[in-house]
Amino acid sequence: MPLSWRRRLKVGGLTFAGMLAIAGGLYLVDESQDPVIETISIPIRGLHPALEGFSIVQLTDIHLRPFTRPNFVQRSIAMANQLQPDLIVLTGDYIWRSHEAVYEVASLLAGLNARYGVYAVMGNHDYWLDIRTLRSAFDASRLPVLINEGLAIGVGKAVLYLAGMDDGWSGLPDLKLALDHAPTGAPIILLLHEPDLADETCQDTRVSLQLSGHTHGGQVLVPGKSPIFHPHLGKKYPHGLYKVKDLWLYTNRGLGVISVPLRINCPPEITQLTLIPD
Domain membership of residue 3 (yes or no) is no
% of the chain residues with pLDDT over 90: 86
Provide the pLDDT for residue 44. Answer: 97
Is the predicted pLDDT of residue 120 greater than 80, yes or no? yes
- Based on the structure, what is the number of domains in the chain? 1
pLDDT class of 27 with cuts at 50, 70, 90: low
Provide the pLDDT for residue 229. Answer: 83
Instruction: Read off the pLDDT of residues 220-273 as tens digits, 9 standing for 90 and up.
Output: 998 888 787 889 999 999 999 999 999 999 999 999 999 989 999 999 999 999
pLDDT class of 1 with cuts at 50, 70, 90: very low
Strand partners, 227: none
Domain membership of residue 228 (yes or no) is yes
Q: What are phi and psi of 20, to 5 degrees?
A: -65, -40
Is the predicted pLDDT of residue 72 greater than 90, yes or no? yes
Cα(60)–Cα(117) distance, integer angstroms = 16
Output the average pLDDT for the chain. 91
CA distances from 84 to 90, 99, 240, 253, 258 (A): 16, 31, 22, 21, 29
Q: What is the average pLDDT across 154-169?
A: 98
Q: What is the average pLDDT across 37-59?
A: 98
Domain membership of residue 261 (yes or no) is yes
Is the predicted pLDDT of residue 125 greater than 50, yes or no? yes
**Nearest one of 77, 107, 105 to 93, comparing CA atoms:** 105
Domain membership of residue 24 (yes or no) is no
pTM for the predicted model, two decimal places? 0.91
Q: Judge whether 142 and 98 are in contact, CB under 8 Å.
A: no
Cα(241)–Cα(251) distance, integer angstroms = 7
Provide the pLDDT for residue 194. Answer: 98
Separation of CA 232 from chain center:
16
Cα(39)–Cα(45) distance, integer angstroms = 20
**Nearest one of 223, 267, 257 to 27, comparing CA atoms:** 223
Domain membership of residue 64 (yes or no) is yes
DSSP of 111-139, one letter per residue?
Answer: T---TT-EEEE--HHHHHHHHHHHHHHHH
Range of the domain at 142: 34-277
Cα(115)–Cα(123) distance, integer angstroms = 25
Domain membership of residue 18 (yes or no) is no
Provide the pLDDT for residue 222. Answer: 85
Picking from 24-28, 163-167, 191-195, which range would have the lowest pLDDT averaged per residue?
24-28
Q: Judge whether 54 and 84 are in contact, CB under 8 Å.
A: no
Cα(115)–Cα(235) distance, integer angstroms = 34
Cα(54)–Cα(118) distance, integer angstroms = 14
Based on the number of CB atoms within 10 Å of its own CB, is 275 exposed (0-12), middle (13-18) or buried (19 or more)? buried
Provide the pLDDT for residue 228. Answer: 78
Instruction: Supply the CATH number for residue 52's domain.
Output: 3.60.21.10
Domain membership of residue 16 (yes or no) is no
Domain membership of residue 143 (yes or no) is yes
